[in-house]
Amino acid sequence: MTEWWLWMYVAAMAGGVVLFSRWRADPRGVPRSEYRVAIAIPLWSGSWYLLMALGGGRTEVAGHTLYWARYVDWVVTAPLLLVALMLTATHSLPGRCWRLMGVLAGANVVVILSGLFADLTADGAARYTLYAIGVLALLAVYALIWGPLRAHAHRQPEEIAGVYTEAALLLSALWAGYPVFWILGPSGVGLFSSATTSLLLVVLSIVSKVGWSILDLGRLRALSARGRLTVV
C-alpha cells in the first residue's frame, strides 16, 4: 500500500512539471524565473520519491522505518518554496531581498535537519529535544514570513500583496502538518502507523508543492490577465 501511494506522488510531481512547463511557454506576464522554481520543486521531489517507490531511500532506525530520501527532498524543495514566496513578495519591487531569503532558508534547514537527527536518535529525551528545536526553528520561519517578508509584500500594489497573503497563509497552514504528523507517527508517540504517516505525508506534500505553486502562479497569472500585474 505504501508503495502505491509513493507512485501516486511521483505521478503528481510529473503532472506538476508538465503543467508548469506549459505555463512557462505562455508566461502571461509572470517572469520565467518563477516558473523555473516551480518546475524544479516537483522535478527534484519526484526523483527522490521515485527512489522510494522502487524500494530505496529508507533504512531501519530505532524500531521504525526512516525514509531518509524525504529529508533529501525537503532540504532542497522547502527553501525553493520560500524562494517562490519571496519572489511573490517582491514581484513588483525593483530588487529581491536575498539576505532575508538566506536567513529564511537557514532557519528552514534547521527545521529539516532537526527532524532527521531526531529520527536517527534512539534516546527518547534527545529525540524530543531535537524535535523541539525543529519546532522553534519553524516558528522562526513563520516570524520571518509574517514579519519582514510580509512588510516587503505590502510595499506592492494591493492585489499583489493579497496574493502574497494567500500564499503565505496556505504555506504556513500546510507546513504545520509536518511536525504534527511526525510527533503522531512512528518517530513520535506512535499513534499513526508507518503506512498511515506515509499516506498523510504524500497528500500533504502534493498539496504543499504542486498545489501551492498552482495557487501562487495561478493568482499572478490571473492578475496579469486583468492588467493588474507589473513585471520588474
231 within a domain of the structure (yes/no): no
Of 231, 214, 230, 221, which Cα lies nearest the Cα of 38? 214
Does 33 reside within a domain? Answer: yes
Domain that holds residue 195: 2-225
- CATH number reported for the structural domain that contains residue 192 in this entry: 1.20.1070.10
% pLDDT > 70, the chain: 95
Q: Is residue 156 one of the residues assigned to a domain?
A: yes
- Would you state the pLDDT for residue 36? 96
Give mean pLDDT, residues 72-78: 97
**Which comes out higher in pLDDT, residue 93 or 171?**
171
Residue 210 lies in a domain: yes
**Distance separating alpha carbons of residues 19 and 99, to the nearest angstrom:** 31
pLDDT tens across 150-191, in order? 999 999 999 999 999 999 999 999 999 999 999 998 888 889
pLDDT at 62 over 70: no
Does residue 54 lie in a domain region? yes
User: pLDDT value at position 230?
Assistant: 52
Number of domains in the chain: 1
C-alpha dihedral sign at 51, 196, 61, 122 = positive
Q: What is the pLDDT of residue 12?
A: 97
Asked whether residue 232 is assigned to any structural domain, the reply reads no
DSSP 41-95: HHHHHHHHHHHHHTT-S-EEETTEEE-HHHHHHHHHHHHHHHHHHHHHHTTTSSS
Give the mean model confidence (pLDDT) for residues 28-41.
94
* 153: in domain: yes
Residue 232 has pLDDT above 50, yes or no: no
Which three cell numbers mark 83? Answer: 524562494
Strand partners, 61: 64
Lowest mean pLDDT among 98-107, 150-159, 187-196: 187-196
Label residue 94 by pLDDT band (50, 70, 90). confident
The percent of residues above 90 in pLDDT, for the chain, comes to 75
Asked if residue 144 is part of any domain, the answer here is yes
pLDDT at 199 over 60: yes
* Contact by Cβ (8 Å): 88, 216: yes
Kindly report, residue by residue over 132-161, the tens digit of the pLDDT.
Answer: 999 999 999 999 999 999 999 999 999 999
Greatest Cα pair distance in the chain: 57
Q: CA 91 → CA 29, 60, 124, 217, 229, distances in Å?
A: 11, 44, 45, 11, 9
